[in-house]
Structure 1
Amino acid sequence: MAIPLHKRRKVADFDPVRDGKTVTQFCKELGISRQTYHNIKSRIAQKCRAGIVPDSTAPKNPIKKFDEADKIAVVHARQELMEQGLDYGPWSIYYFLFDTSGPDSTPSRSTIASWLHELGFVDANARKRPRSSYKRFARDLVGELWQIDGLVYRLFDHAHTHVTIYQIIDDASRFDVGTTAFALPENGTDARAVLAAAFADYGKPQEILSDNGDAFATYHRGFLSATETWLASQGVLAIAGFAPTTQGKDERSHRTLTQFLDARHPVSLAEVNTYLAEYRQVYNERRRHQSLLVGKMHITPRQAFDTFPKAPSPQHPLVGLPANRGHVVELPSG
C-alpha cells in the first residue's frame, strides 16, 4: 500500500528531540510501521527532499503496443523472404524487420509467431519434435571439423538435367567454406576439387566428416578411397558417419540451398554456380543462424567464423590410417 505524500512529508520533518516523541509514538499516531518510517528516512538521506516523492511504479520495459500495420509488415516481410528463396519463419522475419526497420519497430519473435498462427500461415505438424527435446552437438573450434556432402539438383530446363552440388560446412561456425556444382554424378575427383579450393581459401581443417559413399569414405569396407588417401597426404583425417543425423548440419543446409535455387529457376550449370556464389554471400554474411546464439542475439556464420577460437591447421601428412577395425593401411610416401 502506497504511503500518502502528506504522511511522507511529516516523516521527513519529524525530529524526536525537537518534537519530544519517540519514533514508536510518532509511527503509531501516523499509522505507519517503524520499517516504513526508516525506509522513508533512508530515501531522504540519500536524495534529500526529493526522496519524499516515491519512485515511479511504471515498468522499466513497458509492453509495446502494435497495431494492424505491424501485422501487415510481418506478412509483407514473410512474402519477401519467400520470394527471395530464404527461410521465412518467425526468427527470420524478426531479423529481417530488425535490420530494415530497427529494434523499436520490431515485434518479438513470440509475437510474430502468434500472428502467423492467427493468420493461418503455420502448418501444423504433429510429428515434429519440440525444440526442447533437441540436443545440440558441435565442435568447439573453427577448423576442427568440416562436413562435406553431395546433393543432386534438378535444373529447370526441358530435359530436367541433374547436376551434383558439393557443400562443405564448418561444424563450429556453420560457415559455408565451399559450395560448387558439377555436371557428373557424385565422384571423388569433383569432391577433391571442391576440397582443394576450400583449403586454398580457408586453410585445412583437422578432420573431414562425410557419408560412406564411394566418393568420400570407404575405410569401413577395408580399403581407402582416393579422397581419403589424398586427404591423408594433406594431413587431414577423413571420418564417416553411419547414422542419418551425423550429417544433420549439411542435410539441413541442403534444404536452405535448394529453396534458394528453386526461387531462381536455373536452367544451366553455369547459372547454378552463379547463384551458388550469391547464396554463399547471403548464407554466410547476411542470414543469422539460429544455432549461433551469442547473448540474446543470433549471429551470422561469418561472424562466428571470424570470432570463434580456431584449431591449428595440419602441417604434416598422416602416415597410417585404420582401414578397418583390425588392420592399419600404410600410405605410400612421397
Structure 2
Amino acid sequence: MSKARVAVLKVVTNELTVTDAAERYGFSRRHLHPGNATSTELRELIIELRLKLTSAGLDAGPVTIAWHLAQAGHTPPPSTSTIRRILHAADLVVPEPRKRPRSSYHRFEAAQPNECWQSDFTHWRLADGTDVEILNWLDDHSRYLLACTVHTPVTGDIVVTQFLETCNTHGIPASTLTDNGRVYTARFGGGKNAFEYTLAALGVTQKNGAANHPQTQGKVERLHQTQKRWLAGQPVATTPADLQAQLDRFRTIYNEQRPHRALDRATPAQAYAARPKATPPADQDQPAGHYRLRYDHVDTWGKVSFRRAGKMHHLGVGYAHRGTRILAIADDTNVTVINLATGEILSHHDIDPTKHYWRNTQRTPGRWPGVPT
C-alpha cells in the first residue's frame, strides 16, 4: 500500500489528524484535503442568487444564500465559508465599516407570538414627489409583519382602525410597544388619546419607549430599513394604491421567503405559528371576537346610532353626555362607549338584534325607551 494511501486511511479512521499525518508521512496538508468540489454550475447559481437578492433589496449574505439553495433542493448546501469565498472571488462583497459588537446590546424578545406588537410609521415618496406614510405592525417574538398600510398621513383614528383590523385577523395582543408619537400617546399632554382608550378597553398593556431612544423599538426600525431597500428595487409607485400593492408583495416575501438569523433561520411566518399566542391578562379564557369601531357624538337625546347587520340601533348613553365626542368599540356581543376627551367609559351595551334600543347596562334599568318598568 502506498504511503499516500496509508496517510489518507489514518485520517479517515481518525487515528491521526490531518496535521499529524502530513508531518509523519511528509505530505502537504492540502494533499490530504479533498479538492474544491464546487461545480461551475453551483458557483454560477450562487452568484445569480446574490445578484437577484441584492437587486430586490433583500438580504443576500452567505447564510441567506445557503438557505435559498437548500429550499431549491441543494442539500446539503455549500458551507457559508465556501459561499463567501465564491462571492469574494466574483468581487461581489463590499467591505463594511466595523460594527458595534452584538454582545454590547441588551436584547429583548417576547416569549410568545402576540405577547407584544411593535408599531411605527415611516415616510416614502411617490413618483410625483408626494410624501406618504407607511404604518407597520410587527410581532416582537417572531418578527412577523402583521400589517403594513399606506396613508396620507397617519392619524390617531387611522392607528386605532388599523390596530383593530389587525386584531380581527391575528387576535388581541397582550401588549404594544411604540414611540411617543401623538398618534400613539397623549401622556405628555396630561391626557390620553383614542389609541390609549382602545387598549385600555381591550385590556392591552401599553408600553412606550424612552424619549429620543429609538433603539427600544429596534425591530420595527430595522424593518423600515429592509422595507425601504426592497421598495427602492421596485418601479416607483405612482399612487398610494400602487404602493399598497407593492407592500402587500413585500409582506409575503418578508414573512414567508426570508429566513431570519435571530429565528434560527426560520421565517417569521414559521416562528409566528410555532407557539400558542399570548392574550391580554383579562382575556385569557375569552376567544377574540371581531372588533369594529365608530367615532360619533352623543345626540341631543343622549343616544348614539349604531348600524349592525343592516339594521339601525340606538345606544342609550345618557342625556347628561349629549354632544360628547365618543369612540364606540363593538365586538360580537357588546358595545363599549368611551368619552374621547377624558377616557371615561360612558356605557356598555349588550348586542340584541331583536331590539332597536340598547340600554346602558352600567345603569339600573328604569323608565327608558323599550325597557319595561
What TM-score do you get using the length of structure 1 for normalisation? 0.71
The 8 Å contact of residues 156 and 184 in structure 2, kept in 1 or not, is answered as: yes
1:134-154 CA deviation, whole Å, 9 max, x = no partner? 443201011110000011111
1:105-149 CA deviation, whole Å, 9 max, x = no partner? x22123222333343333323342234544432010111100000
- Corresponding residue for residue 277 of structure 1: 248
- Corresponding residue for residue 14 of structure 1: none
State how far apart, in whole Å, the 1-side matches of 2:232 and 2:97 are: 27
Amino acid at match of 1:154: R
Larger fraction in strand: 2
1:264 to 234, 237, 246: 234
* 1:65-84 correspondence to structure 2 within 5 Å: 65-84=37-56
Q: Report the more deviating stretch, 71-80 or 116-125.
A: 116-125
What TM-score do you get using the length of structure 2 for normalisation? 0.64
Shift of 1:220: 4.3
The 8 Å contact of residues 197 and 343 in structure 2, kept in 1 or not, is answered as: no
Are residue 190 (structure 1) and residue 158 (structure 2) matched? yes
Shift of 1:81: 1.1
Amino acid at match of 1:85: G
Shift of 1:313: 4.1
| Structure 1: stretches of 5+ with no match in the other structure | 1-53, 318-328
SS at 2:243's partner residue? helix
State how far apart, in whole Å, the 1-side matches of 2:58 and 2:96 are: 21
Could you say if the C-alpha distance between residues 225 and 55 of structure 1 is closer, same or farther in structure 2, counting changes exceeding 3 Å? same
SS at 1:177's partner residue? strand
2:115 to 144, 153, 171: 144
SS at 1:169's partner residue? strand
- Higher RCO, 1 vs 2 (CA within 8 Å, ≥6 residues apart): 1
Amino acid at match of 2:231: L
State how far apart, in whole Å, the 1-side matches of 2:146 and 2:97 are: 35
Shift of 1:173: 1.0
Are residue 244 (structure 1) and residue 214 (structure 2) matched? yes
* 1:280-295 correspondence to structure 2 within 5 Å: 280-293=251-264
- Corresponding residue for residue 225 of structure 2: 255
Larger fraction in helix: 1
- Corresponding residue for residue 68 of structure 2: 96
Could you say if the C-alpha distance between residues 91 and 126 of structure 1 is closer, same or farther in structure 2, counting changes exceeding 3 Å? same
Amino acid at match of 2:257: R
State how far apart, in whole Å, the 2-side matches of 1:169 and 1:87 are: 19
| Structure 2: stretches of 5+ with no match in the other structure | 1-9, 18-32, 284-328, 330-341, 348-373
State how far apart, in whole Å, the 2-side matches of 1:139 and 1:116 are: 36
SS at 2:162's partner residue? helix
2:90 to 106, 119, 127: 119
1:307 to 274, 282, 286: 274
Shift of 1:221: 4.3
Coordinate RMSD, CA, aligned: 2.7
The 8 Å contact of residues 205 and 280 in structure 2, kept in 1 or not, is answered as: no
State how far apart, in whole Å, the 2-side matches of 1:208 and 1:279 are: 23
Aligned residue-pair number: 261
Are residue 207 (structure 1) and residue 175 (structure 2) matched? yes
The 8 Å contact of residues 234 and 314 in structure 1, kept in 2 or not, is answered as: no
Shift of 1:168: 0.5
- Corresponding residue for residue 13 of structure 2: 57
State how far apart, in whole Å, the 2-side matches of 1:145 and 1:128 are: 28
State how far apart, in whole Å, the 1-side matches of 2:124 and 2:150 are: 9
The 8 Å contact of residues 205 and 314 in structure 1, kept in 2 or not, is answered as: no
The 8 Å contact of residues 217 and 239 in structure 1, kept in 2 or not, is answered as: no
The 8 Å contact of residues 175 and 280 in structure 2, kept in 1 or not, is answered as: no
SS at 2:158's partner residue? helix
Shift of 1:91: 2.0
SS at 1:103's partner residue? coil
